[in-house]
C-alpha cells in the first residue's frame, strides 16, 4: 500500500515535505516517509471507524445518514477490494443501515435537512454498486437492490429540483434553492450515471447551470442564488461539482480556482465547515489537475493545495486515530460525533488514489455485462 501511495501522490508529497521544511529547517522527511505518515493516518482513521461503528451499522449522532455515507465512501476510497476483512464487514453493515433508512428510494429527513441525507446516501450506494462491478471479492449484499434503490433515489432527487434548477433542504420546495443542497444532489446523479443507472441529463444540466449562475465576479460562489455572498467552503464544493461536467467550463473553473488559491486551505480550516470545505477543495483541485494535466503550473499548484490541506488534517488527528468534529458540526445545534470528523478526514486522504468515480473527469469503463438483468 505504501508503494501505491508513493506512486499515486508522489508529487504533492514532495510539496508537503517542502512545506514542512520551511517550518522546521532541520527536518529529514522524505516523500517515502511522508507517504507512510499519510497512509498510517488514513489506516488509523479507518480502523477507528471499524471499531466504533454502532450496532445498527451507523456512525454519527444527529446526521447518521450523512455520516454513515461518508464512512462508507471512506472504505470504498481506501481499497481496491473494500469488501474484504473486518473493514469490509463494517462497510456492508453501513450500507445495510443506509438501505434501512429509505422506502422506495426516499430517505428519511434528519435535523434541518432531507436532501443532504438523500444525496449523500444515494452517492454512497451508487459508488458501492459501482465498485462491486470491478472488485474480485463481491459483497455479501443484494447489489440488485442497491442499484434499484439508487435508481429510485436519483429520480426522487430529480423530481424535487426547484424551478431555478437548484435544490432546497426540504422536498416539495419548488421556489427554494441553495448551493450545498444542489452540490450533493448533482453529485449523486452524476455517480449513478457513471455506473449505468439512468440519470436525467436535463436535470443535471439545470443543476450545473444553477451553480454557475451563483458565481460572483471575484470567482466565489454564493450560498444562494442572488444573495451576493462569497462562500469559501461553498466555492470548493461548486468547483468539485462543476468539474464533473462533460464540457469543462474553463472560465468559471479558473475564476473559482484563483479564488480558492487566495483563500488558501488555512482560510477554510478557520471556517464553519472545514472538513466539508477540504473534501471538496481537494476533489476540485484533483479535477482541475486532470483537465490541465499538460500544464506544469496547474499540476504543481493543485498538488500544492492538496498538500497544504493534508498538513492541517495530519495535525488534527488524535492519538486514537480519530478526528474531532469541528466548526458548526461540533457546536451550533448539531453537536455531531467524532465519527463525522473521522469519516470525512479519512475520505479526504483517499482523493489522490481516485477510486471513487466522482474523483475523475472521465467516467469508468464498465464491464460488458454491467447492465444485464436491469
**pLDDT tens-place string over residues 108-122:** 999 999 999 999 999
Cell digits of residue 168: 432546497
The residue that leads in pLDDT, 220 or 15, is 220
Contact (CB, 8 A) for 124 and 154? no
DSSP symbol at 363: P
Count Cβ atoms below 10 Å from residue 226 Cβ, excluding itself: 10
State the Cα–Cα distance between residues 182 and 162, nearest whole angstrom: 10
Query: Do the beta carbons of residue 45 and residue 321 sit within 8 Å?
Result: yes
- How would you class 360 by CB atoms within 10 Å of its CB: exposed for 0-12, middle for 13-18, buried for 19 or more? middle
pLDDT at 335: 78
d(CA 209, CA 183): 12
- pLDDT beyond 70 at 104: yes
Q: Which one, of 98, 103, 55, lies nearest residue 75 by Cα?
A: 98
Model confidence band, residue 4 (pLDDT cutoffs 50, 70, 90):
very low
- How would residue 26 be classed by pLDDT, with cut points 50, 70 and 90? very low
Radius of gyration of the chain (CA): 19
pLDDT at 19: 47
Structural domain boundaries in the chain: 2-359
Contact 67, 58 (CB under 8 A): yes
Dump pLDDT digits (tens) for 250-267. 999 999 999 999 999 999
Q: How high is the pLDDT of residue 21?
A: 46
Asked if pLDDT for residue 51 goes beyond 50, the answer is yes
pLDDT of residue 226 exceeding 60, the answer is yes
State the pLDDT confidence band at 6, using cuts at 50, 70 and 90.
Answer: very low
Residues in CB range of 164: below 8 A, 6 or more apart:
177, 210, 225
Q: What is the pLDDT of residues 304-323, one digit of tens each?
A: 999 999 999 999 999 999 99
Please tell me the least confidently modeled range out of 194-208, 232-246, 311-325, 359-373: 359-373
pLDDT of 359 higher than 60? yes
User: What is the number of helices (H) and of strands (E) in the chain?
Assistant: 13, 2
Beta bridge partners of residue 167, listed in sequence order: 178
- In this prediction, residue 28 carries a pLDDT of 56
Average pLDDT, the chain: 92
Q: Does 337 have pLDDT greater than 90?
A: no
Flag whether pLDDT at 3 surpasses 80.
no
pLDDT at 29: 66
Asked whether the predicted pLDDT for residue 154 surpasses 70, the reply is yes
Using the predicted structure, report yes or no on whether residue 239 has a pLDDT greater than 80: yes
Per-residue pLDDT for 5 more than 70?
no
Cβ neighbours of 47 (radius 10 Å): 18
Determine the Cα–Cα distance for residues 322 and 314; give it in Å rounded to an integer.
11
The confidence score (pLDDT) of residue 372 equals 61
pLDDT of 189 = 98
Tell me the CA distances in angstroms from 151 to 106, 158, 218, 231, 311, one per residue in order: 11, 11, 38, 32, 38
By residue count, the chain amounts to 374
pLDDT for position 14: 54
Average pLDDT over residues 35-52: 95
Element (H, E) at 107: strand 106-107
Pair 93, 143: CB distance under 8 Å: no
pLDDT of residue 370: 75
Judge whether 211 and 162 are in contact, CB under 8 Å. no
Residue 43's contacts (CB-CB under 8 Å, 6 or more residues apart) are 78
Q: Give the percent of the chain with pLDDT over 70.
A: 90
Strands 106-107 and 102-103 turn out to be antiparallel
Decide yes or no: CATH 1.50.10.20 for domain 2-359.
yes
DSSP 3-state assignment of 235? helix
DSSP code per residue over 276-295: HHHHHHHHHHHHHHHHTTT-
* pTM, 2 dp: 0.92
Amino acid at each position: 500500500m505504501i508503494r501505491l501511495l508513493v506512486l499515486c501522490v508522489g508529487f504533492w508529497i514532495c510539496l508537503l515535505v517542502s512545506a514542512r521544511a520551511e517550518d522546521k529547517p532541520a527536518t529529514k522527511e522524505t516523500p517515502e516517509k511522508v507517504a507512510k505518515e499519510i497512509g498510517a493516518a488514513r489506516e488509523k482513521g479507518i480502523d477507528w471507524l471499524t471499531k466504533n461503528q454502532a450496532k445498527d451499522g451507523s456512525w454519527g449522532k444527529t446526521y447518521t445518514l450523512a455520516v454513515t455515507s461518508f464512512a462508507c465512501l471512506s472504505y470504498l476510497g481506501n481499497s481496491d477490494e473494500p469488501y474484504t476483512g473486518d473493514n469490509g464487514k463494517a462497510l456492508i453493515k453501513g450500507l445495510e443501515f443506509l438501505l434501512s433508512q429509505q422506502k422506495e428510494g426516499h430517505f428519511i429527513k434528519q435535523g434541518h435537512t432531507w436532501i443532504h441525507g438523500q444525496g449523500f446516501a444515494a452517492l454512497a450506494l451508487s459508488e458501492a454498486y459501482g465498485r462491486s462491478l470491478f472488485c474480485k471479492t463481491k459483497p455479501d449484499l443484494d447489489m440488485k437492490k442497491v442499484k434499484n434503490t439508487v435508481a429510485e433515489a436519483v429520480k426522487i432527487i430529480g423530481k424535487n429540483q426547484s424551478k431555478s434548477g437548484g435544490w432546497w433542504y426540504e422536498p416539495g420546495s419548488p421556489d427554494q434553492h441553495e448551493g450545498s443542497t444542489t452540490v450533493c444532489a448533482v453529485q449523486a446523479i452524476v455517480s449513478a450515471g457513471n455506473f449505468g443507472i439512468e440519470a436525467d441529463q436535463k436535470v443535471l444540466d439545470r443543476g450545473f447551470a444553477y451553480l454557475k449562475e451563483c458565481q460572483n465576479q471575484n470567482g466565489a460562489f454564493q450560498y444562494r442564488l442572488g444573495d451576493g455572498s462569497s462562500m469559501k467552503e461553498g466555492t470548493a464544493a461548486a468547483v468539485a461539482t462543476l468539474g464533473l461536467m462533460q464540457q469543462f467550463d474553463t472560465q468559471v473553473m479558473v475564476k473559482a480556482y484563483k479564488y480558492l488559491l487566495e483563500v488558501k486551505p488555512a482560510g477554510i480550516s478557520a471556517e464553519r465547515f472545514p472538513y466539508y470545505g477540504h473534501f471538496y477543495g481537494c476533489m476540485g483541485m484533483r479535477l482541475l489537475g486532470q483537465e490541465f494535466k499538460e500544464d506544469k503550473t496547474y499540476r504543481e499548484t493543485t498538488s500544492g493545495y492538496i498538500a497544504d490541506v493534508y498538513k492541517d488534517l495530519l495535525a488534527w488527528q488524535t492519538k486514537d486515530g480519530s478526528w474531532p468534529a469541528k466548526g458548526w458540526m461540533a457546536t451550533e445545534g448539531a453537536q455531531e460525533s467524532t465519527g463525522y470528523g473521522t469519516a470525512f478526514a479519512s475520505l479526504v486522504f483517499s482523493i489522490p488514489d481516485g477510486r471513487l468515480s466522482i474523483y475523475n473527469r472521465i467516467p469508468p469503463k464498465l464491464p460488458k455485462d454491467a447492465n444485464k438483468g436491469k
